[in-house]
Amino acid sequence: MPFFKMDFHERAIFSLILPPMKIALAQLNYHIGNFESNKEKIIRAIQKAELEQVDLVVFAELAICGYPPLDFLEYPHFISRCLESMEDIATHCKTISAIIGGPAVNPDPKGKNLFNAAFVLSEGKIKQIVSKTLLPTYDVFDEYRWFESNRTFNCIELNGVRIALTVCEDLWNMDEDPLYTFWPMEELIRQQPVLMINIAASPFNYKHNDDRKSILEKNVRQYQLPLIYVNQVGAQTDIIFDGGSVIYDEKANLLKELNYFEEDYFICEFDVAKSKIQIEDSIIVAKNEEVKMQRIHQALTMGIRDYFSKMGFKKAILGLSGGIDSALVLVLAVQALGKENVHAVLMPSEFSSDHSISDSLDLVKNLGCSHEIIAIAPMYNAFIESLKHDFEGLPFNVAEENIQSRIRGTTLMALSNKLGYILLNTSNKSELSVGYGTLYGDMCGGLSVIGDLYKTEIFVLCNYMNSVKEIIPKNIITKPPSAELHPGQLDSDSLPSYTILDTILCSYIEHANGPDQIIAEGFDAALVNRILKMVNMNEWKRFQFAPILRVSPKAFGRGRRMPIVAKYLG
């Protein structure tokens, strides 16, 4: 019997009799396709909750296999493994219930074969399956690639409580220019639920947490129900899930915010008679005043740490040029992996300035990691000698510059291959945008750590990190940026100031503005046209680049798919 049908008086009586429903939020870090490890993690949380008399534990979207499983979903064998795992877990849900995300088979031969579903496990079995209706297919998301959109709507009922259970995007169609033509909560609300639960895999970017809370609050205000929201945490290659699961009361007050960038677990009580959520500890202060840079810092270290731990790697290597980019990556790597696991390689050439070496050595000393110096001259001279017939009479140009960069890439990869290091890439978003980098040279590496940060953001981040504890030598931050590939070279020789460059790039890349709009923002027309042309013409380089830890709303990589052979603004 659903309790919402009782009048106030009856409720008051029941309130005295009925114990509250205890609901646990399990915010975990999953490993894609690692069914044993995910299952074990989930069962451990269920068993812990059971000991604490919890009635229901809620896990994230596609928790069973980790999000995003991408085209593994096209493998029937993979789907079977998901279902076997779910059934195993169900046998642990006899006196407790669980909600766990996983792919479900679409019984209808029409439409795609899968749903992105929330499985309700209870009484030792899969009791109900609730599927996702709104399938994000934009930016880094491809859900309509694998899933059919759900069109049947049923609340679930656990411990006599009627719950509107939805999956992530199903709560997100609240915009004035709505992306979808359907509103799942409008269907569910007709069945008069008393609580909303949403399971999510909502990735971090530096503005996403605000967007997320704003959307969740809009839902609570619209439907006037308390909301429990459980997100995934942990990095999945380039995509970083920040956790931050939340509980709202029916007035859209934030009752609880789980930790960011780490696993977390929390129990709340749902007063069955009053249809209200209770939190044992007093109402906490929301952490949303955390600064952008602090979050980016946490995201990047988690991104490195999870890449290594989930791949089974321990040790990182990188080339330390004396510039700010590689300095920042080195600090992040040491913070993520420990100084004993990070090796810095200095590879000076005849064009390297003295301070490049001395600044690098200062940084290495501050960090306490290992380093070595390998001069590239012998290899460079060998190449130039071998190519002299072809290069004869032609001026020094990008060819010689790139040889230097590729010798460095090859040297780092040789150490990586011989000694078991993983090479971290140090390119930034500004240079990736305009193609100011050498493919197979400084663009080498298994993971791009700061490829989603513009140069100007890198300065801000370094200053922020130095403000916490001074690690990066001041000179590295203050000297003019240079690739040091020919005598006296400075970035400013061939590029505008980074303040101007980054503003134009951000307008084009993040805001999808065209040249006319960007020029109207007050920039020189020839400069704007030149920059946009450079961005478009260098798609072929970015296509072959490493996965980039995503921290902005529009990162290069999976989230931005552009033709290589094209002639638009180029």
Catalytic positions are 61, 132, 168
Q: How many residues does the chain have?
A: 570
Query: What DSSP string describes 24-36?
Result: EEEE-B--TT-HH
DSSP 472-519: S-HHHHHSPP---SSTT--HHHHS--HHHHHHHHHHHHTT---HHHHH
Return the closest-CA partner of residue 65 out of 38, 99, 26.
38
Q: Measuring CA to CA, how many Å separate 561 from each of 142, 419, 509?
A: 12, 35, 12
Q: In the bound complex, what is the minimum distance in angstroms from residue 143's beta carbon to its own copies?
A: 9
Nearer to its own copies, 218 or 274 (CB): 218
For the bound state, the minimum distance from the C-beta of residue 197 to its own copies, rounded and expressed in Å, comes to 26
For residue 561, what are its two tokens? Answer: 């798919």
> How near is the Cβ of 29 to its own copies at its closest, in Å?
12
From CA 215, how far away is CA 201, in angstroms rounded? 15
CB closer to its own copies, 144 vs 351: 144
289 Cβ neighbours under 8 A, 6+ residues apart: none
Q: Answer for the pair 145, 131: CB distance below 8 angstroms, yes or no.
A: no
Beta strands in 195-301 (DSSP E): 195-199, 227-230, 233-236, 239-242, 246-248, 254-257, 264-271, 276-278
DSSP-derived 3-state class of residue 228 = strand
Q: How far apart are CA 425 and CA 125, in angstroms?
A: 47
**In terms of DSSP H, where are the helices of 224-341?**
292-311, 324-337
Of 280 and 385, which has the nearer Cβ to its own copies? 385
User: Which of 7/177 has CB closer to its own copies?
Assistant: 177
**At its nearest, how many Å lie between its own copies and the CB of residue 6?**
38
Task: Provide, rounded to whole angstroms, the least separation between the CB of residue 19 and its own copies.
Answer: 41
> For residues 81 and 213, which CB has a smaller minimum distance to its own copies in the complex?
81
State the minimum distance, in angstroms, from the CB of residue 200 to its own copies. Answer: 19
34 or 222: CB nearest its own copies: 34
Task: Give the nearest distance from C-beta 513 to its own copies in angstroms.
Answer: 7
Listed residue (435, 415, 431) closest to 423, CA to CA: 415
For residue 176 the two structure tokens come to 């004035």
How much of the chain is in helix, strand and coil states, percent to nearest 5? 40, 20, 40
CA dist., res. 427 & res. 384, Å (int): 26
Cβ closer to its own copies: 108 or 123? 108
